[in-house]
Amino acid sequence: MSENGSGSDAPAISSKRDQAGTNHRLVAVAEIRHRRHAARPTKYAHDEIRDVMGPWLDVADFTLDAAGHFLTWSAAAQRAYGYSAGEAIGRHLSLVYDDEHRAEAERLLVTARRFGFRRDVVQRQRRDGTPVAFQARLVAFAPPDGKGAGYAEIDVPAGDGEEDPRDIAADRLIRLAAHELRAPLGVVLGALTLLDLQLGDGQGREGVGPDAELLAVARDELRQMDELLSRILDSWRTKQAALTVQTALCDLREILESALRPVPPQGRVEVEAPACPLPLQCDSLRIRQVVRNLVANAVKYSPLGSPIVLRVEDLGDRLRVSVLDRGIGIAEDEMSRIFERHYRGRQQPAVDPGGMGLGLHVCRTIVEAHGGLIWAECRDGGGACLSFELPRWSGVLRV
Amino acid sequence: MNVLVVDDSPGIGLVLTRYFARLGHSCTHAPDGMAALEKLRTSPLPDVIFVDLLMPGLSGQELVCELQHHPDLGRVPVVLMSGFEAAEEDLPPSGSYQAILVKPFELQELDAVLEAATSWDVSSRD
């Protein structure tokens, strides 16, 4: 059966790995990865690569000082907004807003300063007065000595406002590269296998001796490459898998209880929450997934048996959930990056915790779909605190 | 066993042809769907056809559909070869092929496919 239940009934080849690590595929039940809505892959990729790279080639970028005045202004920014560098530098960010949205400039800066990073669709105005929408990514720099504090922003066209075109482009590029690399890899692997067999004893067994050893090394390396590409494609598929958010009125306490029911065995999770019900408009399954991911993350990066606290704060129109641990912590410059897809912090436990670096990315996706925010902080005395805030009465956005 | 491999990759064609020859089978390679039809018209029927899905010109899907229009060709087992992301619309109709081999694959996996191919009953194919 296909993954999405719409596949063919034909037998296909599924794979499994035996104890020796050999990859076998068995003629069995069909399991081809159908992508009903995926762009049709092509072997003749040059045009597609050029197409894919388009959104990366014309990115407006500028930097701001701590007060929000332009310090630098790129040629792409000039094309995007119509102001020359001479006209923009020294002016405040509000320059690129119309009167109605001018206050948004300060709000964007404040949010970026608070969280270190802000990604948002912004409605702005060109020099000629025409409106323009961008996906803005604003990073705040705040060195301890205060020198060089400010912001850097990159803008890409907002498209339909549903997804950053650069993310779409990156997805397509990953899929394309992985697909185009895997095909020749299979040919080279097959050719080496044939050579190996020719070095054998003529009975279909693989060869022996120094030459066969070299071939074996080459084949092992190729298999590792193939495994890596396979994982990349898997993660792409994960991203493509449609997540839906269906909100209803829930009690956050019940969601937390449900999330902690299968408590990780080595975890010691202590809950600090108000005793009263905590009504919240949300997708309870998705928020439970966020809590589980955050707790699992804390367990993963904490010493065995180390205490983990799950704290809930009622902020009136918002609810904040924090997971605090005493683990290895997060480097200051990685606070926002840990929510990126595939990102794994530099600080890793002695024992590799594994994983694809998707858990926290999924958390951010879900939280943002609820109109919320998620962020990480270091704790005094060591460890990390990962928090998310949800508006109590959010509408359905998107994932 | 007579095997026909239809794939626009010369590398795949060469490697599979050589491998099937090692196993004692007779193998012919066609670089695209039209060449495959020509070979099928002029040569003895193969016992199994390996068809790449994505090919320029006549695609694997179109080739398999074309085979269905011929009573004899329609009885030859078909194994599709595809990258993992084959879309639903790239596949020929259900029942017109017997298996899908996901690229890249290890050559030894073909042993099991060939063994299974001998037992496939495609006489009831629509």
Q: A188-224, pLDDT tens digit by residue?
A: 988 998 888 888 755 555 666 777 888 888 888 888 7
CATH number at residue A324: 3.30.565.10
Residue B122 counted as domain residue: no
Does residue B105 belong to any structural domain of this protein?
A: yes
Fill in the DSSP letter of residue A393.
B
Residues A24 and A60 both lie in one domain: no
Mean pLDDT, rounded, of chain A: 73
Residues for chain B: how many in total? Answer: 126
CA distance A30 to A9: 6
Confidence label for A234 from pLDDT (cuts 50, 70 and 90)? low
Is the model more confident about A39 or about B12? B12
Q: Kindly report, residue by residue over A292-308, the tens digit of the pLDDT.
A: 889 888 888 888 778 89
- Is B125 a domain residue? no
Whole-number pLDDT of residue A42: 38
Residue A243 pLDDT level (bands cut at 50, 70, 90): low
On whether residue A179 sits in a domain, the answer given is: no
Asked if residue A30 is part of any domain, the answer here is: yes
Count of domains forming chain A:
3
| Helix A252-260 and helix A284-300, axial crossing angle in degrees, nearest 10 | 50
Neighbours of A131 (CB within 10 A): 11
More confident residue, A185 or B65: B65
Q: Do A252 and A316 fall into the same domain? A: yes
- At B126 the pLDDT is 42
Q: In which band, very low, low, confident or very high, does the pLDDT at A384 lie, cut at 50, 70 and 90?
A: very high
Q: Are residues A317 and A382 in the same domain?
A: yes
Residues of A in contact with B56 (CB under 8 A): 43-44
Q: If pLDDT is split at 50, 70 and 90, which confidence band does A231 have?
A: low
Same domain, A292 and A355: yes
Residue A9: what pLDDT?
43
Residue where a domain terminates, one of A162, A191, A212: A162
Note the Cα A239 to chain centre separation in Å: 9
Give the C-alpha separation, A64 to A90, whole Å. 9
* Three-class secondary structure of residue A152 per DSSP: strand
What percentage of chain B exceeds 70 in pLDDT?
A: 90
Look at the alpha carbons of A171, A174, A180, A185 in this order and tell me if their dihedral is positive or negative: negative
Query: B22 is in which domain, residue-wise?
Result: 2-117
Which domain covers residue A16, as residue numbers?
A: 1-34
- pLDDT bin (cut points 50, 70, 90) of residue B28 is very high
Q: In a mutagenesis test of the A interface, which of B7, B51, B59, B88 is the best target, namely the one with the most A β-carbons within 10 Å?
A: B88
Question: Which of A108-112, B25-29, B121-125 has the largest mean confidence?
Answer: B25-29
- The pLDDT, as a whole number, for residue A21 is 38
Percent of chain A, pLDDT > 70? 64
**Same domain, yes or no, for A370 and A277?**
yes
Nearest CA of chain B to the CA of A8: how many Å?
5
Shortest CA distance to A141 belongs to which of A154, A151, A155, A132?
A: A151
Q: Is the ipTM of this complex over 0.85?
A: no
Question: For position B50, which CATH number holds?
Answer: 3.40.50.2300
Determine the pLDDT at residue A101. Answer: 85
H runs (alpha helix) in A301-369: 359-369
Would you say A186 and A161 are in contact if contact means Cβ atoms under 8 Å apart?
no
Tell me the residues of chain A between 35 and 74 that have a Cβ less than 8 Å away from chain B. 35-36, 38, 40-44
Of the three residues A133, A162, A191, the one that is the final residue of a domain is A162
Q: Is A17 on the interface with B (CB under 8 A)?
A: no
| 3 state SS for chain B | CEEEEECCCHHHHHHHHHHHHHCCCEEEEECCHHHHHHHHHHCCCCCEEEEECCCCCCCHHHHHHHHHCCCCHHHCCEEEEECCCCCHHHCCCCCCCCEEEECCCCCCHHHHHHHHHCCCCCCCCC
Quick one: how far is CA B10 from the chain centroid? Answer: 15
Q: Which residues of B touch A40 (CB under 8 A)?
A: 87, 89-90
Separation in Å, CA of B106 to nearest CA in chain A:
7
Same domain, A30 and A101: no
Whether B54 sits inside 8 A of A8 (CB atoms) is: no
Model pTM? 0.45
Residue range A230-252: mean pLDDT, rounded: 65
Euclidean distance between CA atoms B36 and B51, whole angstroms = 9
Count: domains in chain B: 1
B59-118 per-position pLDDT tens digit: 899 999 999 988 888 889 999 888 755 556 677 887 888 888 877 788 888 888 888 777
| A177 Cβ neighbours under 8 A, 6+ residues apart | none
Q: A342 pLDDT exceeds 70?
A: no
Is the CB of B65 inside 8 Å of chain A's CB atoms?
A: no
The answer to whether residue B111 sits within a structural domain is yes
Identify the H or E element spanning A100.
Answer: none
Most distant CA atoms of chain A, gap in Å? 82
Of B8, B84, B113, the CB nearest to A27: B113
Q: Which residues of chain B does A23 touch, with a Cβ-Cβ cutoff of 8 Å? A: 106
Determine, yes or no, domain membership for B31: yes
